Structure 1
Amino acid sequence: MSSAKRDFEQFVQWLHGQPRGIADDVKRLAHLVLANFDGVARTSNRQSQRAGLLAELCRRDLAGSLTDMPDIAANAAAQDWAWTRLNRLRVGPFRGFRQAEDFDLSRRITLMYGPNGSGKSSFCEALEYALLGSVDEAEATRLGADAYLANVHERRFVAPALSARDARGEVVNLRPNQDAHRFLFVEKNRIDSFSRLASRAPAERSALIATLFGMDQFNDFVGNFNDSMDAKLKLMSVKQRQLATARAGLTQDQQTLEREREAITALNLEDAALAAELPPDLGFDAMQAYIGTEQAPGRLQELSALIDRVQPALVGVSRAVADRRLTEATEKQTELDAREGQLRGKGDEISFQELYTAVSKLRKVDSATCPACDTPLAQVARDPFVKAVDGLAQLRELAELQTARNAARTTRDTASEALRAVVDRLRRFEDEELGDAAPARAPLQIEIASPWWTALQEPADGGATQFEKLCTAADRAELRDAETRTAADERAQRIRERDKLQGLKERAVAQASRRQQLTLLVDTARARVAAFDGQNAALIEEAEAERIEIELDMRIGVAYDAFLRLLRQYRDGLPAQLMAGLNESAMALYNDFNRQDRNEDKLAALFLPTSNAMRIQVAFRGSPERRHDALQVLSEGHIRCLGLAVLMAKATAIGAPLIVFDDAINAIDTEHRQGIRETIFDAQRFADTQLIVTCHSQEFIKDIQNHLLPAHRNDLQVYGIRPHGGDYHPVIHADPQIRSYLVEARAAINGMNDRGALAASRQALEMLSGRVWKWLINHDHGNLSISMRRPGAEPELRNLCEQLLSKARAAGFAHQDKAEVIECLRTLLAANAHVWTYLNKGTHEEEDREDFEPGVVELVVGTLERLDALVLGRAVAPQPVPAAPAAGA
């Protein structure tokens, strides 16, 4: 990857030339990469391979790496050419050449043709090695230069020897120079790769310019740097984290010791505040003693014992209540008796009421007879059912009296129940008072529906009634209830006091627990602080060592980030350097390549990218104000022409004395080859540039020879190359028999072969008539009227020449070569019919044909040579002056 290494060397030089200065660690890292370039280049960004390698290198050598500019071999600038033309190349053993082979490169044009696999690429790689010092393809295969360049049969290679001539014509041996010579090569592979970028995603087109100029290896080299080295750097230490964790605990211990006094003071204040809640303020310890414990009972236990005492139940009956209940029962019984008496006085009415009610109930909806005698109702004196209804209406007062009697009975029963409850309570109270001494007595016979209480009012022993005794008991019960209520109030107060003391006791226990916890925490912290350094001596030492490693890795990470940013900045700036000033010249070449396109489809402007983020943009003559992405609007063939135009414009811009076309013409479709051939070989744009072309197309080589100006054919060397015949060395033919038609015609005359001369002359006339026709078209006089014998037939050559002569004589058409063209065509048309038989149809084997007149044959060949010497369609193309790039270009 020597070309990538040379590009990186230029980056290092650029790094040292930055006006703002670059951090020393960035320079050290760049020098480390340069010193270990081959090893670094063999890694990729997969699984952070490159980051891992660089991390190891930096840990080992970064600190000792120098910041001064390293010793980089200086190459001459591209414009300082020490030679003007190649002279001779000796190659072999080398790649496909098993033996040494000499090539004469002293002519301005060297053409080499042969089938695939014959050795053309080995020839070009020999030139590449001699001019650049390396072969990019060797690096791309990762085989290594020795393995790639060695001839497989000889198992070795000898560095090709290349000589050239300087401006004084002296022979000099050329030395490799990457900087000066890298843009001398136009390779098929580069043009192919450039055209394929059109079908790729936009993100992949950033390598467009690098691919075209053969800097894709450097672009790949830069692209294989990981975005970050963090994955391979030690930025967080396990030991430091462990020590930090341990010291965090130690710090907490130290804080615990520092806050011990404060914590104790806070606890004392909380104790005092707690004791103050129990007046009088006894202090915390005295408060705990006052409250008491199970072992040392105090007020809390005393209150619990008092609260747990059983209190007598309330009787809830007084003398007044007993008297009131007796009076109410007596009164309600009296009212009931009065209502009963009233009803007994109306006994007959009650009977009638029952009768009328019974008769009313006997009637049905369809009753038609008397319920007593079955007499039809229509025959009785009075309807018994109607009489029953009237009778019930007359006895309404009786019904109301019965309702009042029932209500009086209900109130009497309620009063009886209330009195009975009072009597029961008082009798239970008496039994409770007597306890076990209570006499056995029959239960009181109480019937709710009768005035049972009259028995309580009868005199008993001692003359007092039972009711009076009950009232006396009620007086005692009332006194006891008063005592019970007082005791209940006292108990509730004791419960409140007990609950408060219980809460204080629990809070005091919690306070004591916190004090114990504080004591334990302080003692433990004091012990850990005292033992920390001894217990963690190894960890402290390991953490210190890792701290040094981390500081170095952080330094490496910072340097790497800055280095990568600058490296990518340099790479992204390469398009601006490579494309500077090429817009106009590349556009002119592109339009010349596509001279057959319609005028509106040619380019009005070309905007080559100045950064990797930009796209190649074009504007067409049909709409010059609109820009388009070239890779979107151009066909693959046009894209290939654009790539070739850019490469040739670059070579022209640096004043290259040589351009090597390594099978590049075969990368162009047939449609555009004529325009490219005419641009490169016919025009004067490259008249002072040595051209070396390899190609597998014999026809293309033949067309080059025929369309060269006669003066240029003497400065031409042609090599034919064929695969080996069994010795594994290619067969080389210097100046093989593929040459221009007129050269063959002249050689035939010199060899006294008139038939051969006319056969070559016919081919030359076909070529020259086409050239004259194009010349007329370029001057708006190319519309011809030609008759043909049948569809698809070729026009007769004489007919074509007559039409061309007629158009050349047209009035209003002026050109410096017009008179010579007319004279040549007129001379040819004046030749005898026997000659035109050959010129029209070619020569065929015929017996007893008359001989040709040597003078006529010479006239034909000489006239064609005169016509061929005219520039015509090979009009001199002016050298374009590169214009300043347009804004935004």
Structure 2
Amino acid sequence: MNNAIRNEFEQWIISLKDSSLNEIQTKLLNLLISNFDTILPLGTAKSQRAKKIAELIEKNRSTLAADFPLVSPNIGYSTDRINNISELEIGPFRGFNSSEKFSFDTNFTFLYGPNGSGKSSFCEGLEYALLDEIEEASAKRILIKDYIKNTSKQEGKKPIVYTKNGDRNEAVPVQANQILYKFSFIEKNRIDAFARITATTNSDQKDRIATLFGLDSFSDFVDGFTNNFAPQLTLEPKLANEFSESQKTNNENIAKLKEVNESIAVIAECWTTLFKEINNSDVSTKESLKIFLKGEDGVSGKIYELQQLKASEIQKDIVIENFSEIQEKVSGLIETSKTITKKLTEFQINSSDLNFNDLYSALIGIKDISADKCPACDTPLTQVVINPFQKAITEIEKLKSLSKLQEDLPSLCRSAVKDINILNIQINKVNTDITSMNIKEILVIPFVSDVEYIDIKNVPTWLPTLSEELNSVLNALPEITLISERISSFNLNLQEKRTEKEKVDTEIQKFEEYETRRVELSTQEIQLNKEKSEIESSISKFNEENSEKLVAIENEKLLISEFNNYIEAYDILIGNLKNYRDKLPVKLSFGLSEKALEYYNIINQNDPEFEKLDFLSIPSTPGDKIEIRFKGIKNKEDALHILSEGHIKVLGLSILLSKISNDNLGFIIFDDVVNAIDDDHRSGIAELLTTHPDFKTKQQIITSHGEQFINKLEHKLGASAASKLVRHYRFFPSDSIEYRGIKVSTGDTKHYILQAEENYTKNSLKDAASKCRQAVESLSETIWKKIIKERNINLTVKIRSPGFQPELSTVVDSLIKELKAIDPNTTIFNKLKELKEKYPWSILNKGTHEQDDLPEFERSDIKNVIEIIKEIDTGLFNFSLTTVVK
């Protein structure tokens, strides 16, 4: 059984291959499989297995492989399943002193003998040869080599099972394989255990099915893994506890360092948040933030700029009209200079006449005194070429316009001087605007030189220069269209500055808050880093002074952590293993309900109809019950609560047979199963095994301590089939042999007709007649059961006295009557009628009763009776009421 447990354990490991196992879980799997034989016999008593696993972990943890275990159940065994076995070579083995050979060249091999005659040794030989182990040896924890040892020879050999090579019909050894052949064995012990385990809980019902399928040993092995593994590994930090007082301050420092580091991390996040809030591409570090806010000199920077903006006066908008006014003013001055030039020229031309102004005035003054002669030469006026008085009057008139020039020129010059002053003021204003706009393509306008009017004489000294300068100013003036666009843009900028200035208080407050936060963060960071440095220094000093202890404590801590990982891995894996174990019975019994129901009813065919089932459900999930419903009843019941022990055994056998049918196994080995089933159901078992299409073609090796069951099997087959399909082996009882061991011989047929023929051949006519009577009794019972199953009839029979069986003669008469009513053309009817009418009934009676006065048997009569009985036997197998009942 050790191999079976190991195989199932390895099957579970394979089921984990696609799971996401961590390294520790994989290592633990490797530890369990590599030490399987060590932990197998240990259980939960005194925590033996748990302690051993803990010991193995401590010893091997550093060398355990982390790769998934390489397991292969039944490695080295053939995976080709055979459908029949031809021979068993056994001995010395258990009770077999010497080598024996058993041939299985027919469909049925019947082996019978009393308890203790060697049948169990025979079955264990097949078990060892086919499964590579013996369950009983494992259960008793006896080494297989000791268990199979024959006490007389003091040695034991592994039996060999052969099968026929399909191509050359040669006998070849069969390789053992638990997985392929374990369900070919049906054992009495399993059926008994299935019926006797209590079923008070769903878990108990699961255990029943596990026992039936031979999983109880694996289940017990799995139960050997405790659910409380943790106490087996050292989880208490002894070194750390002893050093705890010394380490308390250091632990406080470590905790404080953690807090400081967390605070530094928070400060770092605050810096990041501050950078994001400022949202300036040039600000990404603490230093760049400081320069941005306060400048490299600690004074300039954004805050200073905002303060300057708040204190600054923003110029008024530039007025485009200022440029137009200059143009107008220059144009006016040009016109004025032209007028001055013209008048000045005129004045200069006529200015010599001004010298005679007094003369002409004097002449006019003395005109009345010397009205008729020239006052200068006394020449009579009548004789002069030009009248001096008239000329004086004419010239005086001319000098009046020159006087006006003398008056106008100073006025014009003074006006020009004034306008020049005004123009220069305008030019200065415009130049200031041009400079503030900082437009390279627009040059500043040249000033006009200041002039001073003294008198008309000095006008020619500055008038030409003025004209040139005015033209320069005119040429320097930009185009109004160009300057207008630039002024509009500049004025818009000025407006934006005014708007910004209106917000400057809010901005100053915001950036001053940024600066406050910057300073606070810097201060906190400096303080925290200082504190961190001091704590790290203390920790470092502590570590240096206690380095060896700390290493030991750290190793202890790592070991405990590793042990905790193993505990977690153990809990997960063993939990998975137990879940796998719980699901196994369900997995193995999947899809068996329908067949099991059919087989159950066949085995119980002689029970009342209300004892039969029309529903059976084998659990499909762990925890479910085996549910049944009797015919004619609506309610479903828990089978293990309501069925008798005998019927539970029949149910167990039905489930095992349905497993064989479902898995399409080619041969079945029954280990004295009939001992587990009560007498009432053995006929149904014989019917199922010999006539049902699922089994009648399978190879069956059946051991039984009771010859009656073998008899039933042969009679279910019929005489013709039994003679061809059955091989017998008889085990002698131990009190009939002269030495310790097992004695086997080829057995005799148990079919009454075949026994009658054998006795007839030996000329033992009385024994032949006796077997003929027994054959008629068996056939009559079979015919009676067939009829009563389909037709509700009562046979009229005679019984000599209470407790006696009905007289055979009256049973046959009643059967003849009923068969005639059913169909008078059947072989059974005609041959029974012939048996009763043609031959004296005393032939059958003489074979049974001891009477001295009876005449000798006629050999021909015995032969003819045997032939009639054989025809009835053959006809019975071809007789079906469903084809004849109207």
In the superposition, the TM-score normalised over structure 2's length comes to 0.64
- Say if 2:746 is the partner of 1:734: yes
- 1:858 equivalent among 858, 863, 867: 863
Q: Is 1:715 the counterpart of 2:725 in the alignment? A: yes
Give the letter for the 1:733 counterpart.
S
Provide the residue aligned with 1:605 in structure 2.
615
Q: Does structure 1 conserve the Cα–Cα contact (< 8 Å) formed by 2:615 and 2:630?
A: yes
Shift of 1:849: 3.9
Deviations 1:678-733 (A, max 9, x none): 21123333121111111111222222223322332122111111245343221112
Structure 1 position 697 matched with structure 2 position 698: no
1:14 aligns with 2:19: no
Counterpart for residue 679 of structure 2: 670
1:797 has 2:808 as partner: yes
Task: Give the secondary structure class of the aligned counterpart of 2:68.
Answer: coil
1:630 correspondence with 2:655: no
Determine the C-alpha separation between the residues in 2 that align with 1:108 and 1:526. Answer: 88
**Aligned residue number for residue 32 of structure 1:** 31
1:683 match = 692
In structure 2, the partner of 1:430 is: none
Distance across 1 between alignment mates of 2:773 and 2:258 = 116
Cα distance in 2 for residues equivalent to 1:787 and 1:693? 38
| 1:117 paired residue number | 116
1:67-82 to 2 correspondences below 5 Å = 67-73=67-73, 82=81
1:615-636, Cα deviation, whole Å (9 max, x unpaired): 211122222x422111100000
Residue type of the alignment partner of 1:727: Y
Residues 592 and 662, structure 2, Cα contact 8 Å, conserved in 1? yes
Q: How many angstroms does 1:536 deviate by?
A: 4.2
Secondary structure in 1 aligned to 2:20? coil
The Cα offsets for residues 184-243 of structure 1, whole Å up to 9 and x where unpaired, read as 011111111111113666544432221111111111111110113211122331112333
* Alignment match, 1:617: 627
Which residue does the alignment assign to 1:824? 831
For residues 232-289 of structure 1, give each alpha carbon's deviation from its aligned partner in whole angstroms, at most 9, with x where no partner exists.
1223311123334432244558999999xxxxxxxxxxxxxxxxxxxxxxxxxxxxxx
SS of 1:89 mapped into structure 2: strand
| CA positional deviation for 1:586 | 0.6
What's the offset of the Cα at 1:533?
A: 4.8
> CA offset at residue 846 of structure 1?
4.1
Q: Secondary structure at the match of 2:87?
A: strand
Q: Hey, what does 2:153 align to over in structure 1?
A: 154
Name the residue aligned to 1:171: 171
Deviations 1:13-66 (A, max 9, x none): 2111x3x53334323322321221111111112232222222222334345314
- Contact 1:742/1:760 (CA < 8 Å) preserved in 2? yes
Q: 2:766 aligns with which of 743, 755, 758?
A: 755
The reply to whether residue 780 of structure 1 matches residue 791 of structure 2 is: yes
Q: CA deviation at 1:785?
A: 1.5
Does the CA-based 8 Å contact 1:25-1:62 persist in structure 2?
Answer: no
Per-residue deviation, 1:781: 5.5
Task: Report the CA distance shift for 1:253/1:682 in structure 2 as closer, same or farther (over 3 A).
Answer: closer
CA contact (8 A) 1:572 1:611 kept: no
1:3 is paired with a residue whose SS is helix
Give the CA deviation at 1:527.
Answer: 14
Letter in 2 for 1:184: S
Write the deviation string for residues 724-761 of structure 1: whole angstroms up to 9, x where unpaired.
534322111212x4521111211222233332221111
| Residue pair 2:197, 2:204 contacting (<8 A) in 1 also | yes
Is the 1:772–1:872 contact (alpha carbons within 8 Å) kept by the matching residues of 2? Answer: no
- 1:561 and 2:571 correspond: yes
Q: Distance in 2 between matches of 1:194 and 1:178?
A: 21
Paired with 1:87 and 1:253, the residues of 2 have a C-alpha distance of 83
Alignment of 1:356-505 (within 5 A): none
CA distance in 1, matches of 2:540, 2:66: 48
User: What are the equivalent positions in structure 2 for 1:140-539 lying under 5 Å apart?
Assistant: 140-168=139-167, 169-198=169-198, 203-251=203-251, 532-533=542-543, 536-539=546-549
User: What CA distance in whole angstroms lies between the structure 2 residues aligned with 1:258 and 1:219?
Assistant: 51
Deviation digits for residues 429-483 of structure 1, max 9, x if unmatched?
A: xxxxxxxxxxxxxxxxxxxxxxxxxxxxxxxxxxxxxxxxxxxxxxxxxxxxxxx
Contact between 1:575 and 1:611, CA under 8 Å: does it hold in 2? no
When structure 1 is superposed on structure 2, of 166-175 and 576-585 the one drifting more is 166-175
Whichever residue aligns with residue 542 of structure 1, its letter is A
**Structure 2 unpaired stretches of 5+:** 260-534
Determine helix, strand or coil for the equivalent of 1:231. Answer: helix
The 1-side partners of 2:794 and 2:235 are apart by 81
Match of 1:56, SS state, is helix
Identity level (%): 31
Q: Is the 8 A contact 2:90 2:125 kept in 1?
A: yes
Name the CA shift for 1:778/1:577 in 2 (closer, same or farther; >3 Å).
same
Task: Give unpaired runs (5+ residues) of structure 1.
Answer: 260-524, 878-889
Distance change >3 Å, CA 569–CA 793, structure 1 → 2: closer
SS of match in other structure, 1:153: coil
Q: Report what 1:575 is aligned to.
A: 585
What are the equivalent positions in structure 2 for 1:639-650 lying under 5 Å apart?
Answer: 639-650=648-659
Question: SS in structure 2 opposite 1:112?
Answer: strand
823, 839, 843: which one aligns with 1:838? 843
Per mean C-alpha deviation after superposition, the further-off stretch among 150-159 and 104-113 is 150-159
Distance 1:559 1:669, change over 3 A: same
Q: Give distance in 2, aligned partners of 1:109 and 1:659.
A: 10
Of 633-642 and 666-675, deviating more is 666-675
Letter in 1 for 2:12: F
Q: Normalising by structure 1, what TM-score?
A: 0.63
Aligned to 1:869: 874
CA displacement, residues 363-401 of structure 1 (integer Å, 9 cap, x when unaligned): xxxxxxxxxxxxxxxxxxxxxxxxxxxxxxxxxxxxxxx
Query: Measured at CA, do residues 139 and 726 of structure 1 come closer, stay the same or move farther in structure 2, by a change above 3 Å?
Result: same
Residue matched to 1:50: 49
Deviations 1:850-883 (A, max 9, x none): 3333333222110100111134599799xxxxxx
Q: Could you report, residue by residue, the CA deviation over 1:473-503 in whole angstroms, capped at 9, with x for unpaired residues? A: xxxxxxxxxxxxxxxxxxxxxxxxxxxxxxx
Change (3 A) 1:97 1:22: same
Q: 1:244 to 1:876 in 2, by over 3 A?
A: farther
- Classify 1:872/1:257 alpha carbon distance in 2 versus 1 (closer, same or farther; 3 Å): closer
What is aligned with 1:106? Answer: 105
6 and 768 in structure 1: CA distance in 2 versus 1, 3 angstrom threshold: same
Distance (whole Å) between structure 2 residues aligned to residue 36 and residue 688 of structure 1: 44
Distance in 2 (CA, whole Å) between partners of 1:659 and 1:144 is 27
Task: Give the structure 2 partner of residue 95 of structure 1.
Answer: 94
Judge conservation of contact 2:674–2:682 (CA < 8 Å) in 1: yes
In 1, the alpha carbon distance for the partners of 2:114 and 2:752 equals 23
Name the CA shift for 1:846/1:204 in 2 (closer, same or farther; >3 Å): closer
Q: Distance in 1 between matches of 2:256 and 2:661?
A: 83
Superposed counterparts of 1:644-659, under 5 Å: 644-659=653-668
How far apart, in 1, do the equivalents of 2:596 and 2:871 lie?
34
Q: Is the 8 A contact 1:775 1:873 kept in 2?
A: no
Matched, 1:131 2:140: no
